[in-house]
Amino acid sequence: MADFLEQIATLSTRSKVAERQALTEEATKTAVVLPFLQALGFDVFNLEEVMPEFIADVGMKKGEKVDFAIKIDGKIAMLVEAKPINSKLGETQFSQLFRYFHVTEARLAILTNGREAWFFSDTDEPNKMDKRPFFKFDFQNYDNLQVQELARFQKGCFAIESIIEAASNLKYTRAAASYLKGQLDAPDDDFIRLIGRQIHDGSITKAVAEQLKPAIQAALDEIIRDRIQDKLSITLRGDPPAAKNEPAPEVEEPELETTDEEREGFMIVRAIAAKIAPIERITMRDAKSYCAILMDDNNRRPVCRLYFNSPTTKNIGLFSADKVETKIRVDKPSDLYKHTGAIEAAIQSYLGS
């Protein structure tokens, strides 16, 4: 696996160079796509394994060509369609691949522009390519778990049935995760009503839904925090004590990137606090899903939270006197000034303690 990780790291560098220099589809194939197929263990110079410009006649259309047909034991295992690295992968891009899929024995198809690779199968209907990829790999932005998923497609361990099973699981897991993440950021009315019917007696009117929304958001956040804490507790309890004179293994901390908007939000909260408290007491502690603004760097003294990581929505979390959090949608960090009263009230509650 270490060798494969190294190969993918090299491929990542190639992709970045190609993004600056490769202007055509052919250049993208040479710079990234062929090295990618090599990394998966296929001999790109052997026509028994990698067949370029594979002809796949589709109905009345004769001479339709797929960029590459990948063969294992003489049978077509995957189809690969390449696009220029400066193009965006999308519906118009894979209509060709969709047509090719059902006239070959392949059950896997890859659409790539040298920056991303999208993997398709026929999990919805046999011999008909799904409209959505079950797995996407970004050559320039990935983690080790994604590389492990990618390793499934290596020639040496290629097993189509297990790949299809994993594809089905991945597709539904990621669809559910995407939906739930959206609800965590900004729950819609249907989601509020779904939960509301379990916790409220009577009709869920618009007014009732608005009343329940902050409580449901706070409950979701609490569940996530509790699950994280439970996992941490299990890990700590399960670790055997270090042997005598044996140094404890280093724990790799997850990388966090504090964004410019989070820093701006932090400075705005400090500016608000300056009226009533020394600004040195207002601190910032970044986390994966939010950036916490605390009093005295104490997570029991939350001032507010900045939920600025979503590419589509921004929220701030404000705390009541009993530390119940309410999320409020904002457009930009300066909108924090609109909530000066709530921020000051949170800070004031800690000044006497």
Residue 194 burial class via C-beta count within 10 angstroms: exposed 0-12, middle 13-18, buried 19 and up? middle
The answer as to whether 253 is a domain residue is: no
Contact 67, 80 (CB under 8 A): yes
pLDDT(45) > 80? yes
The verdict on residue 270 lying in a domain is yes
Per the prediction, the chain carries an average pLDDT of 82
pLDDT of residue 37: 94
Which pLDDT score, from 0 to 100, does residue 258 have? 84
Q: How confident is the model at residue 289 (pLDDT cuts 50, 70, 90)?
A: confident
Is 223 inside any structural domain? Answer: no
Mean pLDDT of 157-185: 77
Domain encompassing residue 333: 260-351
**Could you tell me if residue 339 is inside a domain?**
yes
Calpha distance 91→111 (Å, rounded): 11
Q: Region 231-254: what's the mean pLDDT?
A: 46
Q: Is residue 207 part of a domain?
A: no
Percent over 70 (pLDDT), the chain: 85
pLDDT digits (tens, 9 = 90+) for 303-321: 999 999 887 889 999 998 8
My answer on whether 150 and 269 are in the same domain is no
Q: How confident is the model at residue 56 (pLDDT cuts 50, 70, 90)?
A: low
Pair (166, 289) in one structural domain: no
Domain boundary among 174, 192, 224: 174
- Say if residue 49 is in the same domain as residue 163: yes
Total domain count, the chain: 2
DSSP character at residue 170: H
What pLDDT is attached to residue 143?
Answer: 85
- Cβ neighbours around 109 below 10 Å, total: 24
Split at pLDDT 50, 70, 90, the class of 244 is very low
In a domain, residue 242? The reply is no
Q: How confident is the model over 199-217, as pLDDT tens digits?
A: 888 888 888 888 888 888 7
When pLDDT is cut at 50, 70 and 90, the band that residue 226 belongs to is: low
pLDDT tens digit sequence for 62-113: 666 788 989 988 888 888 988 999 888 876 566 667 777 767 777 888 999 9
CATH number at residue 312: 3.90.930
Domain boundary among 149, 174, 199: 174
> What is the pLDDT averaged over residues 185-199?
86
Residues 158 and 50 in one domain: yes
- Find the mean pLDDT for residues 48-65: 71
Burial group, residue 1, by CB count within 10 angstroms (0-12, 13-18, 19+): exposed
CATH number, domain of 126, equals 3.90.1570.30
pLDDT (tens digit per residue) in 1-18: 778 889 999 999 999 999
Mean pLDDT of 157-172: 75
Q: Give the end of a domain, one of 124, 154, 174.
A: 174
User: Residue 315: beta bridge partners?
Assistant: 307, 329
Confidence of residue 234 (pLDDT cuts 50, 70, 90): very low
**Which contacts of 98-103 are long-range, i.e. CB under 8 A and separated by 24 or more positions?**
98/129, 98/131, 99/58, 99/61, 99/64, 100/56, 100/58, 100/64, 100/66, 101/127, 101/128, 101/129, 102/127, 102/128, 102/129, 103/56, 103/57, 103/58
